[in-house]
Amino acid sequence: MNKLALSAATLCALMSHAVHAQSSVTLYGRIDEGLTFVDNEAGGHNTKLDSGVLYPNIWGVAGHEDLGGGNTVVFKLEGLFDLNSGKMLPANTEFAHQALIGVETDYGRISLGYQYDTTFDFFNQFNVSALGSGYAVHQGDVDHTNNDRMANSIKYTSPTYKGFQFAAMYGFSNTAGSFHDGSAWSVGGQYANGPLTIGAAYSFVATPTLDPYAQIGVHSFFGVPTATKTGSTTTNLQPEFTIHSLGTFGIGASYAIGDLTLYGNFTDSTLKYLGDTGVMHVYEGGATYQANPFLQFVVGYQHTGFQGHKWNQVTAAANYALSKRTQIYLSSDYVKASAGVDAVLGEAFAPSSTGQQADVRIGIVHAF
């Protein structure tokens, strides 16, 4: 009888704890696949299966535990993969998309790990071209408009108060004797009220590594040769170009008028190298139109300037929802660069052998 009473008391205690500490774990993912035609990659046409374009291919596990008193522990683990090879991206990684744990309270959330910077949180939503085509991020993603994350980071995100929300984060270098090099920080915020949303963010990275030719197609970067041509062959001379620092500021807004939503944004990216400073400016505008509950049209235009070079890019797309979890889409992009630049769309393809590049894609996305 004593054992029975003890077992009953233990069961009651566990049930009581379960009431106050409820938890859940969710397994989820997304698959994006399609056929892409590129008119010029390194001098030749290319037709290829390309996955993770409009949306990255991910699989993830997310969960939370209610600690009581309005406090909750949250976690998220997300991996990236290539559908055509079945391999994780990048190679030898498990959770390269997000990996974090945090605590949410009435005063906001503190999270730690590998997580999005505030440019993603408050600015990326205005990159209207990328809403239609995943290739149409800002030139070379120099200004961090392509879902950039920050490693070894601690982040605070405020609650939303009367439409206002902000966040701040710091990424440690985790290198002994080098607290600055490799570190990063980011701050941003937004205001959303009815049809209007305005957001801004600033992100700073110390000693980042770029690939100037692959990202923006330039043959010289801060006066350093980055590519050379021999006949029809171009050689990338600086695939790992380390600069002193990169600071990116972005501000954007959207305004909904019925089924039409207008977008505009501007970014200012300051790059420093050996006492020299280069500034990249990107101006973008466009719109989405929800023709019916299933069909959406997207148009966007971008103008980029950096170190005397110019890029002009247009994007058009149509997205059709087959269900709540599946959609098909058709998109096309075209970029024209100034003389001396081998044009490249975003950072998605090998640079063209000329100052122009275009793509057409038809794809399907499924979420589970």
For residues 145-167, average pLDDT:
96
Give residue 144's identity as a one-letter amino acid code.
H
pLDDT value at 19 more than 60: no
For residues 46-60, average pLDDT:
97
Q: What pLDDT, on a 0 to 100 scale, did the predictor assign at position 20?
A: 46
The mean-pLDDT minimum among 10-24, 227-241, 262-276, 317-331 falls in 10-24
User: Chain centroid to CA 79: how far?
Assistant: 14
User: Chain centroid to CA 108: how far?
Assistant: 23
pLDDT value at 253 more than 50: yes
Q: What pLDDT, in 10s, does the model give residues 278-293?
A: 999 999 999 999 999 9
Taken in order of first residue, the domains within the chain and their CATH numbers are 25-367 (2.40.160.10)
Band of residue 11 on the pLDDT scale cut at 50, 70, 90: very low
Q: What pLDDT, on a 0 to 100 scale, did the predictor assign at position 91?
A: 92
For residues 316-340, average pLDDT:
98
CB atoms within 10 A of CB 7: 10
Q: What pLDDT, on a 0 to 100 scale, did the predictor assign at position 346?
A: 83
Q: What pLDDT, in 10s, does the model give residues 112-143?
A: 999 999 999 999 999 999 999 999 999 999 99
> Which residues, 6+ apart, have CB-to-CB distance to 165 below 8 Å?
122, 157, 158, 159, 189, 190, 192
Cβ contact 57:85 at 8 Å = no
DSSP assignment, residue 163? T
Q: What pLDDT, in 10s, does the model give residues 193-242?
A: 999 999 999 999 999 999 999 999 999 999 999 999 998 899 999 999 99
Q: What pLDDT, on a 0 to 100 scale, did the predictor assign at position 21?
A: 55
Report cis status (omega within 30 of 0) of the bond before 90: yes
Measured CA to CA, the distance from residue 302 to residue 335 in angstroms comes to 9
Measured CA to CA, the distance from residue 182 to residue 203 in angstroms comes to 13
Q: What pLDDT, in 10s, does the model give residues 338-360?
A: 999 999 998 889 999 999 999 99
